[in-house]
Amino acid sequence: MRVADQIINTIIEAGTDTIFSLSGNQIMPIYDAALDQDIRIIHTRHEAGAVFMADGYARSSGRTGIALCTAGPGFTNALGPLFSLKSSESPVVLITGDSPHAMDGRQPFQELDQTAISAELVKESWRLTNSAAIGDAISEAMRLARSGRHGPVHLAIPEDMLAEPAQPSLFSVDDMADDTSFAIATPDLNAILRALDDFQKPLILTGATLALNRGHHAIRQIMDKHHIPVIALTSPRGLNDPMQGKLGDILRAADGIILLDKAPDFTLGFGTPDIMPDAKIVACAAQSETVTLCNQVFQGNMIWGCIADPMLTVAALAASALRKRSSAWKTSVNKLLVKRPDQVTKTKTKTSPNITPAMIMQGFANCIDTRKPPLMVCDGGEFGQWAQAGLPDPLALAAHIFTNGTSGGIGGGLPQAIGMAVANPGRHVVAFMGDGSAGFHLAEIETARRANVPVIFIIGNDYRWGAEVEIQKNRYGEDRIHSCDLDADTRYDLIAEGFGVNGILVETADQIEPAIRGALAHDGVSVINILMTGIAAPSF
């Protein structure tokens, strides 16, 4: 057995059944090894698309996503998404081929110090030059991506290592996955439980690793069993995101807040006194830097801080005995969380001459069964914000909605949706994006068709880079808007047909619902190109 075979076997043993990849010279031994194993390679049109697909796969499945790219420009093409993945705390392992180890320093084809470049964008970055340790390194990378605060890991593997004989692994995947050494210490757990019992209006704030859409049943237990609200802060708009309702009012009302692996960063208004004026703070995080920052920011209001695995901590809190409390506080929080600006809730009638983003989202809401919803991914930009704010029944659908995350990067929604569909066979995935963000990875529509997945891409087409137009208008004036327009003649529905998928053009409001219903009834890929009026993202 070769090292390449060992890599494939290790990935399968860890529970991942799909690799997202764009081929190249240095990784062909891994392709050869995959041929005889029960694992699927989704071949993409761009390396960044492969990474975003692995991201969607990982975030929607509870498994580790694997992206596989070649050396040199293959590696550099894959770099773009890593900043977004690290911000979204997405458990993805990027494996890249590398120039032969035996030729180091002699300028072989595509020689590059990959780990020096990727180090700031991932949790860890290694170049593997000992073939005897590669099997264990793959296991460790997949464990590390899902331990503590989740995030991407990069492994560069020289081509000549892949053909060498495999060595027995020192550790099994199960041994590494069952590591509980980072569990919360009993004194720390007791301190958090005492604080929760003392608080009259407690609130738990988390980062992306503990978001409901990651499938953490323990979070539901905390909310349902203990009546304590848990909110994940994952928006690049911070407290100004209408998808989070009146979050500012909730923070001002809380008398105690548990920051569970969540730093007081821009998404929390930097934790200034006007944001949480009456709250006592407890910080529990996977990284000591987060606890230190909390101590600096909250000073006298911080009553406890500790370091522990956030997922194990949530499970421990869910299983613990807390004093019985009424559901009144949680109910009041939920009412504030579902508040939406008037721009979202008061849509124009179907007879309106112009389609607005709110009308699109109302049409979508009328077409889906919230008891059996599709998975939904909202890209960034103005239409992406409209989509997030306009999704129906936000509390019930929270576990089914994914966004572009705190990085604010746009363009990943299209390939992320493909990865989600691959990870959740038979379930529709709907991706909302503007015409600007759609263009980043438009060619991956063809990848979706070859992968034979039921994905619907809804493009809100206002012929412009909406967010930038709004910045120009607000900062510099109406007469200073320029160079952020897109071509009104671009027909995304016809482009879709050229890729061999179902393309639908929507020009009037009465066409919205039939188009969406038709796409939901279609087993394959659909692109709905909706010509709409560009409107600034909603806000209170």
Bridge partner residues of 2 (DSSP)? 165
pLDDT, residue 215, reads 74
pLDDT at 341 over 70: yes
Q: Could you tell me the fold of the domain covering 342-531?
A: Rossmann fold (3.40.50)
Residue 77 in tokens: 């093409």
Distance of alpha carbon 207 from alpha carbon 312, whole angstroms: 15
pLDDT-based confidence at residue 182 (cuts at 50, 70, 90): confident
| DSSP symbols for 435-472 | HHHHGGGTTHHHHHHHHT--EEEEEEE-SB-HHHHHHH
Architecture of domain 3-177: 3-Layer(aba) Sandwich (3.40)
What's the whole-number mean pLDDT along residues 180-203? 93
pLDDT, residue 102, reads 84
pLDDT-based confidence at residue 265 (cuts at 50, 70, 90): very high
pLDDT at 95 over 90: yes
Residue 189 in tokens: 């757990």
pLDDT, residue 111, reads 85
Architecture of domain 186-337: 3-Layer(aba) Sandwich (3.40)
CB-CB contact of 386 with 357 (8 Å) = yes
What's the whole-number mean pLDDT along residues 293-302? 93
Q: Is 159 exposed, middle or buried (0-12, 13-18, 19+ CB in 10 A)?
A: buried
For 270-289, write each residue's pLDDT tens digit.
Answer: 999 999 998 999 999 999 99
What's the whole-number mean pLDDT along residues 251-263? 96
Q: How far is CA 201 from CA 325, 326, 406, in A?
A: 10, 11, 27
| DSSP symbols for 150-187 | ---EEEEEEHHHHTSBP---SS-HHHHHT--TTSPPHH
Distance of alpha carbon 265 from alpha carbon 151, whole angstroms: 18
Q: Among the listed ranges 155-169, 182-196, 444-458, which one has the minimum average pLDDT value?
A: 155-169
pTM of the predicted structure, to 2 decimals = 0.95
- The most confident of 63-77, 215-229, 466-480, by mean pLDDT: 63-77
Q: Which helix (H) or strand (E) holds 126?
A: strand 124-127
Distance of alpha carbon 41 from alpha carbon 421, whole angstroms: 14
pLDDT at 177 over 60: no
In the predicted model, what is the mean pLDDT of the chain?
93
The CB-side HSE value for 146 (13 A sphere, CA atoms) comes to 24
Distance of alpha carbon 305 from alpha carbon 292, whole angstroms: 8
For 482-518, write each residue's pLDDT tens digit.
Answer: 999 998 899 999 999 999 999 999 999 999 999 999 9
Domain ranges of the chain: 3-177, 186-337, 342-531
pLDDT, residue 296, reads 94
pLDDT, residue 300, reads 87
For 381-391, write each residue's pLDDT tens digit.
Answer: 899 999 999 99
Percent with pLDDT over 90 in the chain: 85
Q: Which helix (H) or strand (E) holds 330?
A: helix 328-337
Instruction: Please determine whether the domains at 186-337 and 342-531 fall in the same fold group of CATH.
Output: yes
pLDDT, residue 1, reads 86
pLDDT, residue 169, reads 77
**DSSP symbol at 2:** B
